[in-house]
Amino acid sequence: MHFRSRVTWSLLLSLISLGIVADAADSGIIEVDLLFPRNETYAPTEWMPFVFSIRNGELSKHLNPFLRYRGWNTSDLGAHGFTFRNEKLKFANWSSQNPYFVYNFRNDLQSEGTWWLDWEFYFLSCNEDFTSVLDPGAPVFLNNTFRRITFTIKEGGQPVDLVAATANDKTCSEQNIAAINVTGKTQDAPLSGDELPDDICAVVGSPEPSAIPCQVKVDSAVAASMTASLRDRLCDPLRTIDRPDDCPEDSAAMRLAVAGVACLAAAVGMLGFFA
Ligand SMILES: *[C@@H]1O[C@H](CO)[C@@H](O)[C@H](O)[C@H]1NC(C)=O
Ligand SMILES: *[C@@H]1O[C@H](CO)[C@@H](O)[C@H](O)[C@H]1NC(C)=O
Ligand SMILES: *[C@@H]1O[C@H](CO)[C@@H](O)[C@H](O)[C@H]1NC(C)=O
Ligand SMILES: *[C@@H]1O[C@H](CO)[C@@H](O)[C@H](O)[C@H]1NC(C)=O
Ligand SMILES: *[C@@H]1O[C@H](CO)[C@@H](O)[C@H](O)[C@H]1NC(C)=O
């Protein structure tokens, strides 16, 4: 039975048996890593990267996931900070790359300071035991993993270098990684539409599995494509502020540059986003 109407969260009143389909292709561990920044001190840089990777991301296609981070100035008790929320993950082409890199750059971190960086991975899953509205418990869960690291911006700190930072496997803690144990998917979904495309919902085991952080590296090709995508955005002909002086002005050159970046970005399967 399919429940096709555009239900809202408050109208989960369908009488269905979710049932679980356990299939090797639909189960496994998703690992979400905060690759950068780490618990380190960095020299101020114009565009500070925030980089995550998602391993086995293909398993999250029924989780409708999103990533969020917030930064808190440790000196003013969080009165000032920054935040970002990435909703585009639901459109990710997971099969294009594993691990899948998610990143953005921000230019509001150029002065000295120490920051808490709280990051969360949100995901939907279904209660496989749910059979009817008379059952106790919710048919759908929205869970999140919460982690916090600390980083410092200070003159004389190490230069921001994604390749060097991620080559070091000693600078992470359990706060740099989150893992989700996907055990299967349901045969039906208690709500459809944007929340659970294809009327399929994932089933997730708890407790959260342990995982080893600092395993994913950013190599120079991936780092270069991230920088190229930043430059592409900054050089957007429609952009009038903060445009680098050396952007290609010729429209043919521009189109070629854009095409090159698009190819590279597609080749490494990345999803960039901006502050
Ligand atoms: C972060 O680094 C500092 C200085 O190296 C260290 O004292 C602290 O224990 C580290 N914190 C974590 C959570 O790893
Ligand atoms: C953090 O807060 C302190 C205390 O209010 C302030 O002096 C400092 O400028 C802030 N740092 C940044 C980077 O905004
Ligand atoms: C997803 O990526 C794969 C591998 O790069 C590619 O073959 C496929 O066409 C892409 N799918 C879409 C919908 O873009
Ligand atoms: C998700 O949240 C529900 C309700 O709080 C909880 O019962 C379940 O164990 C959580 N699942 C995971 C994987 O944390
Ligand atoms: C994932 O969950 C399944 C079912 O609860 C369990 O058998 C398995 O051991 C879990 N895997 C990990 C790595 O925790």
pLDDT at 65: 94
195 within domain boundaries: yes
The answer to whether residue 30 scores a pLDDT higher than 50 is yes
Closest-CA residue, ligand 5 atom 12, reads 209
Nearest residue by C-alpha to atom 14 in ligand 1 = 173
pLDDT for 197 beyond 90? no
What is the mean predicted confidence (pLDDT) over 222-250? 86
**Ligand 1 atom nearest to 175, measured from its CA:** 13
pLDDT (0 to 100) of residue 237: 82
- Residue 15 lies in domain: 2-214
Rounded percentage of the chain residues whose pLDDT exceeds 90: 57
Angle at 162 between CA 159 and CA 165, to 5 degrees: 75
Are the C-beta atoms of residues 130 and 190 closer than 8 Å to each other? yes
CB of 95 sitting under 6 A from ligand 3: yes
Count structural domains, the chain: 1
As a whole number, the mean pLDDT across the chain is 83
Please state the pTM of the whole predicted model.
0.84
- Res 7: pLDDT: 38
Q: Does ligand 4 lie within 6 Å of residue 274's CB atom?
A: no
